[in-house]
């Protein structure tokens, strides 16, 4: 595949599944052709360029996994599908941050159009975050899940983990968060997913 070749939707799907050089070229085209549209949409709807780039990167990752798992076969236009994923991710972020009203005022929004993506996106987010926590080890995973997902108090976490007191639990959580930060520095695309779970 020539570097300057403009791939069709089917060629992109094939390239992403093939891996290697073909995959890299197809990913470059996704960014070159589709990123600006997503950035424009997000900037026009209360977001920043940095937020737009985060959302687009996360959307591409979700799309990539769907293609590799053969859950997207090109039944709809690739650009429309990817844009819908990114819109959904942005909508979820705004909803989490109570900015939904501003979005609805500025843009005609039809949630039913993107509801089919909800299980797919939620599942992808959960898998990405759990995979990240797995890298921290079982103890850190349990502490952070209890804190971030279940919103448990530190004394409850200390009891759950069998620590002598709450301070030990706090110290352990702090160390786990530092290790998590180090991992996020290596994988910035996961930052948006993790932020939405806090």
pLDDT per position as a tens digit, 113-125:
444 445 555 555 5
Neighbours of 51 (CB within 10 A): 17
Share of the chain above pLDDT 90, in %: 22
Q: Supply the mean pLDDT for the chain.
A: 78
Residue 82 has pLDDT above 60, yes or no: yes
| pLDDT tens figures, 28-53 | 999 999 999 999 999 988 889 999 99
The mean pLDDT of 54-75, rounded to a whole number, is 85
Q: Provide the token pair at 168.
A: 């030990």
CA dist 172 and 175 (Å) reads: 5
Closest CA relative to residue 132, chosen from 117, 148, 110, 116: 148
The domains of the chain, with CATH numbers, are 9-116 (1.10.1740), 135-195 (1.10.10)
Query: What's the first-to-final CA gap in the chain, in angstroms?
Result: 43
CA dist 94 and 101 (Å) reads: 9
Neighbours of 15 (CB within 10 A): 21
Q: 91 falls in which pLDDT band (50, 70, 90)?
A: confident
pLDDT for residue 73? 67
| pLDDT tens figures, 126-144 | 666 677 777 888 888 888 8
Q: Provide the token pair at 37.
A: 């549209």
| pLDDT tens figures, 148-172 | 767 788 888 899 889 999 899 999 9
Residue 112 has pLDDT above 50, yes or no: no
Neighbours of 14 (CB within 10 A): 17
pLDDT for residue 3? 46
Q: Which residue stretches of the chain are H helix?
A: 9-18, 20-44, 49-68, 78-96, 100-106, 118-134, 138-144, 154-161, 166-186, 191-195
Closest CA relative to residue 64, chosen from 76, 75, 56: 56
The mean pLDDT of 11-32, rounded to a whole number, is 91
Q: Provide the token pair at 36.
A: 């600006």
Distant-in-sequence, close-in-space partners of 160: CB < 8 Å, separation ≥ 6: 142, 146, 152
The mean pLDDT of 71-94, rounded to a whole number, is 83
């Amino acid at each position: 595949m020539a570097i300057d070749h403009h791939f069709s939707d089917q060629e992109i799907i094939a390239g992403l599944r093939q891996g290697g050089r073909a995959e890299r070229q197809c990913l470059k085209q996704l960014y070159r052709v589709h990123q600006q549209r997503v950035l424009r949409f997000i900037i026009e709807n209360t977001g920043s360029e940095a937020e737009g780039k985060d959302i687009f990167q996360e959307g591409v990752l979700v799309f990539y996994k769907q293609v590799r798992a053969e859950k997207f076969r090109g039944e709809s236009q690739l650009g429309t599908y990817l844009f819908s994923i990114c819109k959904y991710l942005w909508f979820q972020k705004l909803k989490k941050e109570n900015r939904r009203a501003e979005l609805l005022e500025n843009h005609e929004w039809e949630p039913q159009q993107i509801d089919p993506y909800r299980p797919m996106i939620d599942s992808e987010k959960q898998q990405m975050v759990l995979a990240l926590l797995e890298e921290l080890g079982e103890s850190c995973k349990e502490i952070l899940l209890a804190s971030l997902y279940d919103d448990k108090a530190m004394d409850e976490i200390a009891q759950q983990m069998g620590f002598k007191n709450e301070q030990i639990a706090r110290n352990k959580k702090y160390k786990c968060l530092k290790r998590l930060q180090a991992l996020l520095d290596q994988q910035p695309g996961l930052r948006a997913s993790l932020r939405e779970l806090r």
